[in-house]
A and B are shown apart, each in its own frame.
Chain A
Amino acid sequence: MLSRRLKLLIGGLFALAAVVPLLRTEANQAVDYARDIQPILAGACYQCHGAGRVMGQLRLDDKQLAMKVIVPGKSGESRLLRRILGEGDEARMPLGGDPLTPEQIALVRAWIDQGATWPDGPAAAPAKLEKHWAFVAPTRPPLPQVKNKSWVRNPIDSFVLAKLEEKGLAPSPEAAKLTLLRRLSLDLTGLPPTLAEIDKFLADQRPDAYEKVVDRLLASPHYGERWGRHWLDVARYADTNGFEKDLARSIWPYRDWVIEALNRDLPFDQFATEQLAGDLLPGATLEQRIATGFLRNSMLNQEGGVDPEQFRVEGIIDRVDAVGKAFLGLTVACAQCHTHKFDPIPHREYYQFYAFLNSDDEPEVEVPGEEVTKKRAEIMAQVAKIEADLVASDPGLSGRMAAWEERARQEKQDWVVLEDATIFAAFGTKFDRLEDGSFMAKGDNSTGNNYVIKARTPLKNITGFRLELLTDPNLPRSGPGRSNEGGLFVSEFSVEAAPADKPEALEKVALGGVTADFSHPDFPVKNVIDGDLKTAWSIDAGPGRRNQDRKAVFATKTPVGFDGGTNLTLQVAQKQDTTISLQGGKPNIGRFRLSVTTTPSPLADPVPAAVRRVLAVPAASRTREQLHEVYLYYLTVDPQGAAALKAIDEVMKAWPYGPTTLALAPRPIPRETRLFKRGDWRKPAEAVEPGVPAALHPFPQDAPKNRLGLARWIVDPMNPLTPRVIVNRFWQQYFGQGLVTTPEDFGARCDRPSHPELLDWLATEFVRQKWSMKGMHRLIVTSAAYRQSSRVTPRLEEADPENRWLARAPRFRVEAEIIRDIALAAAGLLSPKIGGPSVYPAIPDGVLNLSYGAPMKWEASTGEDRYRRAMYTFWKRAVPYPSLLVFDAPNADFACARRIRSNTPLQALTTLNDKMFMEAAQGLALRAWKEGGIDDRSRMVYAFRLCTGRRPDAFELQHLMALLREQQIYFRGKTAEAVYVSAADMDDLPVGVDLHRIAPWAVVARALLNLDETMTKE
C-alpha cells in the first residue's frame, strides 16, 4: 500500500515538474534574456565558462563568445542545448553539477527558438560574479532581533532563535539537570560523570552550578584527550607506516603534544603554527619540533621494489590534503591532476602550495624525557670528572694533545668521489643520489642486502678505495645504518675492474689491506676482506657514541686503471649473520659514499670525521661539546689514555636513550618543486615557487616563503576559511553536524550553512577571543541552544527531521573510543592515565593474520594498560583495532574531518560478545554486588546509574529484576557456567564472593552496557 503511495507521490512530482514549464513557456510567451536566461547561465555555467575561468574557450557571459554554441531559432542545432540535455557522447553539462531543471531547459529551448535575443546594453554586460561566500572574510554580523528574548543566554541563541522563529518553530525546554551533566561530561571529556559528580551537581542549587561544572570539565586533563582525539582524526594519527609492510612507527609524543597543548589552551593560531612549522620558529623548543609530527603522519611505503620517490611524492600530496582539510576546509587535492573543477585552484597553484611542504628532511627526533635527561647529565658529570682527574694527574697531557692536533691537522688525503656510478641492490632497495655523491638507501630494508655499484673512472694507478658510512638526519637516530638505532654492519667488500672499452673483461681487484677509523673490538674491519660472508665489521661504539660518520680504506695490491677509462664493480655485502645481534633491527647501510685515490699505500684517516670538523674550528672558539669530542678521541691515541678511556667506557655503558618521534626539519639545500602533468610524478614540467591560491587572501608580505610563512598565512586574521572551518568542526562535535555539513569542503559545492550569520559570528568571535579553543567551547556549551532537551516530538520529526534548525538538542551514539571508555568506566576498570606509548589491549586471535607477512607481535598489555582509554590503542593501519573500526573510527589513511555514524549488527555483536566488553560486564557485576548496597534492588539501581547516570523507572526496574531472577535460578548449582560468565580470568577469580551470585549480575550488567542509552549522548 505504501509503495503505491510512494509511486504515486513520485509520479506526481515528476508530472508536476513537467507540466509547470510547459505552462510557462508556451510558444506565445516571450522569453526575456535578462529575466529568464541570464540567471540560469549565471547560476549553472559562469563558474567554468565565465570571467573567472574559461573552460573549453567558451564564455557564456559574453554574447559574441556564447553564440559559438547557439544557433538562433534552432534549438535542435544548438550545442548549448545538446550539452545541457546530455545528448550524444559527451557528458551532460554542468559537468559534475546538478542538471538544469526541466523548467530551466524549457526556457533555454524556447529562448533559442524565439531567436536567442540577447540585447546589447546594460543587461548585456555580465553582472560581476560574486565571490563564493566562504572565500570572503567574515564580518561580524549584528545580533538578530528575536521575540522570545528571555530564552537567549548568549549571542549564539539569538541566531538560533531568530532562525527558529523564522521557521515557525520554538526551542525545546531545557534538558534535565542530570542529562545536561552527562552530555557535558561526554562532550568535554569523553567520560561519563561519576556518581559522586552526579550527586554533587544535583545537590548544587547555586544559580551558576552549571557554569561551575563547565569550568571543572574544561580544566580536566581529560578535556585534552577528548578534543585531542577529534584533532587526531584530521591529523590522521596512526602508529604504523601503512601499505604492505605496515611497520610500527614511534610518533605518540606528537599525540601527547596535542593533548597537552589543548589542556593548556594553546591558542589555535599558535597550535596551527607549531604543527606546520614549529621547527622553524626562532629558538624552537623540542615540543615545537614534536608538533611538526602533524605533517609526518602520512603513510610510508616500504614494500620491496617500490620507487621511493613515487611514495615520497604521495606523502607530500597527503600533507597538502591534510592541511587543506584540517585548516582550510578545501579539497585542494582535486587540483593535483588538473585545475580544480569547482574551486578557484588552478593546477599550477596546487603545486605552489605543495612546494611549501616539499623541501624537508624527515628526522626522528629523540624525546628524552626527564629521567633520561637527568641520567645523561649524571653520566656526563662523571665523564667530566674522569677527564679532569686525568688532566690534573698528568701535566704533560695538554702539551701532547696540542702537538698531536698540529700533526693531525696537516695530514691531507686526496680522494676522488666516484661520481659516475649507478647502484643496484637485492630486494629492490632503491637509492637517492645526494649532492655530495653519496647514496641514500630507501624503500625495502630486508636483512642481508648486497649493494652493487657500477662506476666508471678516468683515473689510472688507483691505489685504494674508500667506503664512507655517513650520518643523515633522515636515518633512524641519524644512522649511518638503517637499524632502529641507526646501526649497520658490513660483511664483505670487493672490487672488480675492466677497461672501459672492454667491459666484459672484468677481473677481481686484489686488495692488500684495510684500515678503518673505528671497529668494534669483536668485529674488526679486516673481516670485510676475508672472503667470509659470515664475519663482519661493526662500527658500534656503544651507547651515546654510535651514530657517527665512519670510514674504511681498502688498499689495492697493485695499482688499478686502464688507458681510456676503467669500469669498476664494487660490492658491499651485508649478509645476515645470526651471531651478530648488535643494535637490533635490520642493520643495512643507510647512506654511504665511495671514493678512489692514487696516493700510495692509503690508510683510513684515523681521525673520525666529526673530530676533523672540530679541528677545523679555531681552538679558542670551540664549544664544550666540541672540546669533549676531540678530547675523547685523543685519549684513544695518547699513550697514557687507556685507563681513563676504560673508565669512561664503563660509565658510558649506562647511557640511556629516550623514545623518538617523527618530525620535520628544512633541507639545507631546498628541493625544487615541479608541476606534474596530470598529477603524474613521472611527468615533471616547469618549476614552481611556493605560493598560495590567488583566490584567497594574499600571502603576508613580510612572511618567508616557507612553512612558517604558510602557517602565518593560515592564521592570518584575513583568512576567510580557517576560523570558520574550526568553529564549524567544534559545532559538529556538539550538534552532530556542522553549520556547514561538509566540514572538509567549504568550496563552491559545499552545502550552504544552515546559519550563515551564526557561523560568521562564531568565526569572528574565535579570533576576538585570541583563538582560545576553551573559550569557544565554553561559549557553545553555555548557550540555551546547547542546553535544550533532545526529545524528538512528532511535530519536530515532521518539521525538521534532520534537526538543522536546532529546535532541540541532538541525540546520537557516541564515537568508537567513547563506547569502550563508557563500558570500562562503568565497570570501574578504566585507567585515568594520560599519554605515553600506545597500548595493546587484547586483540581477537587471527585478526592480525589479515595483514601481509608474519603477523606483527601484539603482546597484550597487562595491568593498567589493558584498560586505558581507547584513544591510546596501538593503531595499525593495515589491521585497525576491530572493535573501534566497527564503530566507524577512521582508519587514518588520510585526514578525516567528519566521522560516519553507522548503526549495524556487527556493532551489536561487538558490544554483546567481544571479550573486552564481557570483561566490562563482569567488572560492573562485581562492582554492583560489592558497592551497590545490601539488596538486589539497590544493586540494580546502582548498576543502572553507573551506565546511564539516572535511576531506572518502575518499568525498567521490573524488567531488569525479572531478568536477574531468572538468571539467579539458572545459575544455581551451575558452577562451571557461573565461573565462565562471572570471571574473565580462570587463574584470577575474584575472592570473597560466591560466583553463583555474581554470574546473574554479569548477565544483567551485559544488558545494561548494551542499552541504547548507555552508548548515546542525550
Chain B
Amino acid sequence: MNYGDEIRREARKLVTRRHFFKDCGVGLGSVALASLLDGRLFAQGKTADPLAAKKPHFPAKAKRVIYLFQAGAPSQLDLFDYKPGLAKYNGKPVPESIAKEQMYAFIKPDAGLYATEFKFARHGKSGAELSDALPHLARVADDIAVVKSMVTDAINHAPGQIFMNTGSQQFGRPSLGAWVTYGLGSESQDLPGFVVLSSAGGTSGGASNWGCGFLPSVYQGVPFRRTGEPILSLSSPRGITRETQRRTLDTLKALNEHHQALTGDREIATRINAFEMAFRMQESAPELTDLTRESKETLELYGATPGKGSYANNCLLARRLVERGVRFVQLYHEAWDHHSEVVKGVRTQCKATDQASAALVQDLKQRGLLDDTLVIWGGEFGRTPMVESNPDADRSMGRDHHNKAFSMWLAGGGIKRGVTLGETDELGFTAAVDPVHVHDLHATVLHLLGFDHTKLTHRFQGRDFRLTDVHGEVVEKLLA
C-alpha cells in the first residue's frame, strides 16, 4: 500500500468536505499535509478557505509582519553606517584595488569618496550609532536591531526590489508576503491576508513586488488605495444602498444555493462564501481606514493627519490592520533614490518617515503587540561610499546604487532588542563582519514566523520551490 497516496486520498475527501482547514484542530502532521496538498487542490479551486489560519512548523515568535519598504534605496552611510575612514579620504578617488572589484549603475568606479555630512551619535542603553537624521528612531534604539552588513545581488531598482521581495531577480516568484500568507493563512475573516500600502512614488518592481508568482492568487498582496475607497471596487456603485446590496446578495445566495442543489457542485458554496466575505469587507474596511477614530495622542505620536495618503497615516493604518488579524502588511515609500543631493534627500525623507516608523514600534510596544509583530525597515540595496556627480545628468553630491553593503533594521517578533549586527570595511564598501544576505534575512523572517525555510515549499513545474531557493541561513545573532 502506498502510504502517501492513502493519506492524500483521505485528506482530499476531507478537504472537499470543506472541513479540513476550518474545523480541524490543526496539528503538526496535518499542517505538513496541508502544504503538501495545497498546490494541487488550489489549482483546481477545490478548497474551502485557503486563507484560514494555519499553524507553522514550530511555535512561532512572530505572528504577523509589518514591512516598511524604503524603496529607492536609502543611504546607509548617512543613516546607520558611520565611517570615519571616509572622512579621512573624503574627495579622494577610490583606491584601485577596491575600484576594480565594483560594478556600478551610473558612476565610474573611480569616482571620489564622499564622507557623510550628518552627525552621528550613540543612543539608548545599547549605544546604537545613528545619524541625526533619525532623531525619533533614536528614541526606540533599545527596541530595534540594526543590521549594518546587508548584502544583495542586484544593483538596479526593479530587479533589486524583486530580489528583496522574492529572493530572485527574475520575475514570477512569490513574494515574502505571499509565502507567509500561504504558510499561515490569515486571522481576519473580512480583510485580505496580505495588504500593501504606499506613499510617495510608484514602485520600480510594480505589482510583482507583492505578487504571488505560482502560488494561488489569493495570496497576492492587495494594494490599498491612498484616497477614496481603500480597496478597489470596495464601494457599491452610486445609488446602491447597503440595504440593496444586502438584498442583492440574499437573492444571489438563494439562487446559487438552489443551483448548487441541482448541479451538486460544491464550488458554488465557495462562491457564496466569497460574496459574503466581500460584503463583510465592505462593512469593515471603511471603519478600518477611518483614522479619525484614533486618539489625538496617537495621531500626534505618528504625525498622522486623517485623510492624507502619507507614510505616517500608513504606519498607523498598518497597526490597525494587524490588530484586525491581517497577516502581512507591506508599506512602500518609494522616495530614496538620491543620485543627487543626498543630504537634502535623506533629510526630506527622514522628515516624512522617521517619526512614524519610530511611533509604530512604540505604539505596538505599548499595546503589547510588539512581542509577536515583526517590523522590518529597509530598501532594496544601499548607496555608494563614492559621490555621484554628473552635470550632464544634473546630478551633484549624490550617491549611486551599492549592493555589497547596506543597512536595515528589525524589531519585535522575536528579534533581539538593542543590538547592532555586522560591520563594513573601513570605507563601507563591503560587509566585513557577519554579512547577512537577502536569503539569510528571508530565512530568519520565516524562522521567526515558525517555519523551516527549507520546508515551506510549493511544487511547481516539477520542482519544490521555496523563498530562499537553495540558499539562506537563519541569522542566530538576531534572535532574542
Distance between Cα atoms of A970 and B40 in the complex (Å): 47
Contact in complex: A908, B172 (CB < 8 Å)? no
Q: Taking A891-B211, A1011-B252 as contacts, is the C-beta distance between A244 and B12 under 8 angstroms?
A: no
Give the Cβ gap from A192 to chain B, nearest Cβ, in Å: 17
B334 near A914 with CB under 8 A, answer: no
Complex-state Cα separation, A977 to B248, whole angstroms: 16
Tally of chain A residues near chain B (CB < 8 A) = 135
Report the separation of the CA atoms of residues A962 and B216 in the bound assembly, to the nearest whole angstrom.
38
Complex interface: chain A residues within 8 A of B42 (CB): 900, 902
Known pairs A10-B33, A745-B461, A1010-B252; A303 contacts B157 (CB<8 A)? yes
**A303, A903, A980: which contacts B204 (Cβ < 8 A)?**
A303
**Binary interface profile of A, 888-907, with partner B (CB < 8 Å = 1, else 0)?**
10010110001011111111
A33 proximal to B (CB < 8 A): no
- Check A802–B46 contact: CB distance below 8 A: yes
Are A331 and B264 in touch, CB under 8 angstroms? no
CB pair B232–A852 under 8 Å, yes or no, is no
A745 with B274: CB separation less than 8 A: no
Q: Which residue of B lies closest to A101 (CB)?
A: B3
What separation, in Å, do the CA atoms of A900 and B29 have in the docked complex? 27
B277's nearest neighbour on chain A, judged by CB, is A905
**Residues of chain B with a CB closer than 8 A to A797's CB:** 16, 264, 266
Which B residue sits closest to A11, measured CB to CB?
A: B29
Question: Do B7 and A893 touch across chains, with their CB atoms under 8 A apart?
Answer: no
> Given B156, B225, B234, which contacts A301 in the complex, CB threshold below 8 Å?
B156
B264 touches A793 (CB 8 A): yes
Task: Pick from B82-90, B235-243, B351-359 the stretch touching chain A.
Answer: B235-243
Q: A450-B392, A850-B203 are in contact. Are A1012 and B271 (CB under 8 A)?
A: yes
Cα of A424 to Cα of B389 in the assembled complex, Å: 13
Structural contact, A844 and B233, CB atoms closer than 8 A:
yes
How distant is the Cα of A900 from the Cα of B172 in the complex, in angstroms?
Answer: 14
- For B170, the chain A residues whose CB sits under 8 A away are 314, 317, 894
Q: Across the interface, do A428 and B105 meet the contact criterion of CB distance under 8 Å?
A: yes
- Complex CA–CA separation, A150 to B212 (angstroms): 47
Name the CB-closest residue of A to B204: A244
A428-442 CB contacts (< 8 Å) to partner B: 428
Q: Which of B19, B158, B201, B238 contacts A303 (CB 8 A)?
A: B158
A478 to B225, CA, bound (A): 42
Partner of A98, one of B4, B258, B271: B4
A20 at the interface (CB under 8 A from B): yes
Among candidates A450, A844, A903, A976, residue contacting B232 with C-beta atoms closer than 8 Å:
A844
Q: CB within 8 A of A791: which of B216, B263, B270?
A: B263
Complex interface: stretch among B20-28, B62-70, B291-299: B20-28
Residues of B near A487 (CB, < 8 A) are none
CA distance A913 to B2 in the complex (A): 49
Taking CB atoms, residues of chain B closer than 8 Å to A314 are 170
Q: Are A791 and B227 in contact (CB under 8 A)?
A: no
Say whether B305 faces chain A, with CB atoms less than 8 Å apart. no
Assess the A2–B19 pair: CB atoms within 8 A.
yes
The residue from B203, B225, B401 contacting A851, defined by CB atoms under 8 A apart: B203
Within 8 A of B (CB), among A36-79: none
Q: Is A233 an interface residue (CB 8 A)?
A: no
- In the complex, how many angstroms separate the beta carbon of A682 from the nearest chain B beta carbon? 8
A736 pairs with B256, CB closer than 8 A: no
A497 in the interface, Cβ–Cβ < 8 Å?
no
The reply on A918 being an interface residue by CB < 8 A is: yes
Q: How far is the CA of A242 from the CA of B207 in the complex (A)?
A: 11
Chain B residues with Cβ under 8 A from A747's Cβ?
462
B43 CB within 8 Å of chain A: yes
B92 to chain A, nearest CB (A): 16
Residues 958-976 of A at the B interface (beta carbon under 8 Å): 959-960, 962-963, 966-967, 970, 976
CB of B252 within 8 A of CB of A1007, answer yes
**B157 contact set on A, CB distance < 8 A:** 244, 303, 852
Q: In whole angstroms, how far apart are the Cα atoms of A907 and B233 in the complex?
A: 9
Most chain B CB neighbours (cut-off 10 Å) among A14, A904, A999: A904
B58 close to chain A: CB less than 8 A = no
A334 contacts across to B, CB distance below 8 A: 461, 463
For B201, the chain A residues whose CB sits under 8 A away are 852-853
Q: Does B222 contact A (CB under 8 A)?
A: yes
Q: Is A7 an interface residue (CB 8 A)?
A: yes
- Once the chains bind, are A303 and B206 in contact (CB under 8 Å)? no
Max chain A C-beta neighbours (<10 A), residue from B7, B159, B260: B159
Q: Please, which residues of chain A bring their CB within 8 A of the CB of B266?
A: 792, 797
* Contact digits for A402-428, partner B, Cβ 8 Å, 1 yes 0 no: 000000000000000000000011111
| B477 adjacent to chain A (CB < 8 Å) | no
* B91 in the interface (beta carbon within 8 A): no
CB-defined contacts of B103 to chain A, threshold 8 Å: 307
The answer to whether A102 and B29 touch (CB under 8 A), given A303-B204, A905-B275, A977-B239, is no
Task: Kindly specify which of A777-785, A825-833, A874-882 makes contact with the partner chain.
Answer: A874-882
Which residues of the other chain, A, contact B260 by a CB distance below 8 angstroms? 1012
How far apart sit A886 and B170, CA to CA, in the bound complex (Å)? 22
Q: How far is the CA of A987 from the CA of B327 in the complex (A)?
A: 44
Q: 8 Å CB contacts to A: which residues of B160-194? A: 170-172, 192
Does A3 have its Cβ within 8 Å of any Cβ on chain B? yes
Q: Are A10 and B202 in contact (CB under 8 A)?
A: no
Which residues on the A side are within 8 Å of B427 (C-beta)? Answer: none
Contact across chains for A7 and B27 when beta carbons are under 8 A apart: yes
Contact call B105/A851, Cβ cutoff below 8 A: no
Q: Give chain A residues whose Cβ lies under 8 Å from the Cβ of B6.
A: 13
Is B122 among interface residues, defined by CB-CB distance under 8 A?
no
Within 8 A of B (CB), among A741-800: 741-742, 744-745, 747-750, 790-794, 796-798
Q: How far is the CA of A893 from the CA of B251 in the complex (A)?
A: 40
- Taking a contact as CB atoms closer than 8 A, the residue among B105, B192, B239 that contacts A980 in the complex is B239
Determine if B4 and A742 form an interchain contact, defined as CB atoms under 8 angstroms apart: no
Complex-state Cα separation, A907 to B33, whole angstroms: 28
- Asked if A850 and B251 sit within 8 Å, CB to CB, the answer is no
Taking a contact as CB atoms closer than 8 A, the residue among A305, A448, A791, A910 that contacts B262 in the complex is A791
Residue in A7, A244, A904 whose beta carbon sits within 8 Å of that of B274 in the complex: A904
Q: Are A908 and B275 in contact (CB under 8 A)?
A: yes
Instruction: Kindly identify, within residues 1 to 31 of chain A, every residue whose CB is under 8 Å from any CB belonging to chain B.
Output: 2-4, 6-7, 9-11, 13-14, 16-17, 20
Contact among A96, A307, A424, A903 with B267 in the assembled complex (CB-CB below 8 Å): A903
Contact A449 B462 (CB under 8 A): no
**Complex: A1006 Cα to B233 Cα, angstroms:** 14
B191 to A: closest C-beta gap in Å: 9
Given contacts A242-B171, A331-B461, A812-B45, contact A912 B278 (CB under 8 A): yes
Residue contact B105 to A304, C-beta cutoff 8 Å: yes
- Give the CA-CA distance A912 to B390 in the complex, in Å: 53
User: From residue A847, how far is it (CB to closest CB) to chain B in Å?
Assistant: 7
- Contact in complex: B216, A902 (CB < 8 Å): yes
A960-B251 CB under 8 A given contacts A852-B334, A893-B171, A967-B244: yes
Q: Are B216 and A959 in contact (CB under 8 A)?
A: no
Q: List 5 A-B contacts (CB under 8 A).
A: A20-B1, A303-B158, A426-B390, A885-B207, A1007-B251
Q: Which residues of B contact A (CB under 8 A)?
A: 1-4, 6-7, 10, 12-14, 16, 19-20, 23-25, 27, 29-30, 33, 40, 42-46, 103-106, 108, 155-159, 170-172, 192, 198, 201-208, 211, 216-218, 222-223, 225-228, 231-240, 244-245, 247-248, 251-252, 254-256, 258-260, 262-268, 270-272, 274-275, 277-278, 281-282, 334, 390, 392-393, 400-401, 454, 461-464
Shortest 9 CB-CB contacts between residues of A and residues of B: A305-B105, A878-B206, A980-B239, A792-B264, A749-B462, A450-B392, A426-B392, A908-B278, A426-B393
Chain A residues in contact with chain B, CB under 8 A?
A: 2-4, 6-7, 9-11, 13-14, 16-17, 20, 91, 96, 98, 101-103, 242-244, 246, 299, 301, 303-307, 314, 317, 331, 334, 341-343, 424-428, 446, 448-450, 452, 573, 736-737, 741-742, 744-745, 747-750, 790-794, 796-798, 801-802, 811-813, 844-853, 855, 877-880, 882-883, 885-886, 888, 891, 893-894, 898, 900-910, 912-915, 918, 955-956, 959-960, 962-963, 966-967, 970, 976-981, 999, 1003, 1006-1007, 1010-1013, 1018
